[in-house]
Amino acid sequence: MRLIPVAATAAIVLAPSLTVSAPTAHGASCPDAEVIFARGTDEPPGLGRVGTALVASLREQTGKNIGAYGVDYPADEDFLAATAGANDASDHVQEMAAACPETRLVLGGYSQGAAVIDIVTAAPVPGLGFRDPLPARAAQHVVAVTLFGNPSGRAGRLMTVLSPHFAGKILNLCHPGDPICSNGDQWKAHTSYVPGMTTQAASFVAVRI
């Protein structure tokens, strides 16, 4: 993962309108809950290390049928492309809400992926590539949001404040010293969310599903 320009991250959310089509929802096979997770910069497609650990811990803690969906976006050095992930995550939430209305949905993200989920939960209108804001009726299906190493932490948690539909549902986790989410200078802190904080986040989610 590389340092994410905080100003650029905030601009993604605040600037006033491209959607990547979301994959088909689960159809008849609906899990008890599903974690929709955006990986960090330079991680291969999928959930990433943090998302994988979160899902594993949640399954262990609940014994429930927990589905998992890795948000489809580049996760590369072009941080403005995070809007592609936000579009994909928003589309997927809406498809799951329609196809599996009893499934409890969990949003999550690590590092740049946390910025992706910030956009989904905070941006009420299209802007700067984000064209598919999450309708309130779909947002109601999201029972928890867990963010790790969130770059908006360096902007005073600006994006969390802008999340009217997610009050009480968001857990922002930042390791002391993590330069991405705080004024720290310990890069190792940014890569140390597993297993301690992923277990903590799973406990936060478990009581909500």
3-state secondary structure of 173: strand
92 an active-site residue?
no
Which is catalytic among the residues 57, 90, 111, 182?
111
Written as six digits, the tokens of 10 are 């905030």
- Residue 54 to residue 154: CA distance in whole angstroms: 24
Backbone angles phi, psi at 84, to 5 degrees: -65, -40
Q: H or E element: which one contains 50? A: helix 48-62
Q: How many angstroms separate the CA atoms of 85 and 113, rounded?
A: 8
- Say which of 88, 118, 132, 178 is annotated catalytic: 178
Q: Is 178 designated active site?
A: yes
Active site residue 111: yes
Enumerate the active-site residues.
Answer: 111, 178, 190
